[in-house]
A and B are shown apart, each in its own frame.
Chain A
């Protein structure tokens, strides 16, 4: 399957600082990228959908000013957690879907473990 890479795999930051997570589609162009968050023992929760060159669409209850999403190119999307607090500690996962062709499935990155201390 297609490869989606996230960076970093894990990060520890101090409360009040901001953290940026990158999501790259390595061997295909992604029209749409999705960002999820997953707490321990829970399922993935969709945070937002982003399309290249346009503003992200956030799910209900997700603060757009706290979780800044940028999708500047067809191979890169970033999620910035601003003014992080311990309750933002979670596993963040991105997903990317191809522009065109027969590949309609979305592929996921390996996830980023964020710990806010």
Chain B
């Protein structure tokens, strides 16, 4: 299973863009990159996912490099409520073990006033 590497922690000023990097150099061609976040003592919240192309939704943007070995999650205007642990996950294909999500240590993002 492809492993991901993320910085342990990051700070971001409120109102600025938060750019969270993730390395997944062993990713296979059919494996998706998923991002979730977990606010203290809650279940993880889905943010966004992608395969090759950049993706954007109401929460964030996902930029995947052309070689797919790394990606960046962008929160365009961070708020204090975005303070959380952000997990970058390479999802196991559905046909193999049901598409399970294996969580790494994630990045603890602190948004400061």
CB of B30 closer than 8 Å to a CB of A:
no
The contact of B46 among A43, A51, A106, A113, by CB within 8 Å, is A106
In B60-113, which residues have CB < 8 Å from any A CB? 87, 94, 97-106
**How many positions in chain B have a CB within 8 Å of any CB in the partner chain?**
23
What is the predominant secondary structure among interface residues of chain B facing chain A? loop
Q: Are B42 and A110 in contact (CB under 8 A)?
A: yes
Please indicate the chain B residues that have their CB under 8 angstroms from the CB of A43 in the complex: 87, 103-106
Q: Are A105 and B34 in contact (CB under 8 A)?
A: yes
A4, closest chain B residue (CB): B43
CB of B25 closer than 8 Å to a CB of A:
no
B102 CB, nearest partner CB in chain A, Å:
6
Closest CB pairs A-B (n = 4)? A108-B43, A44-B103, A32-B98, A108-B44
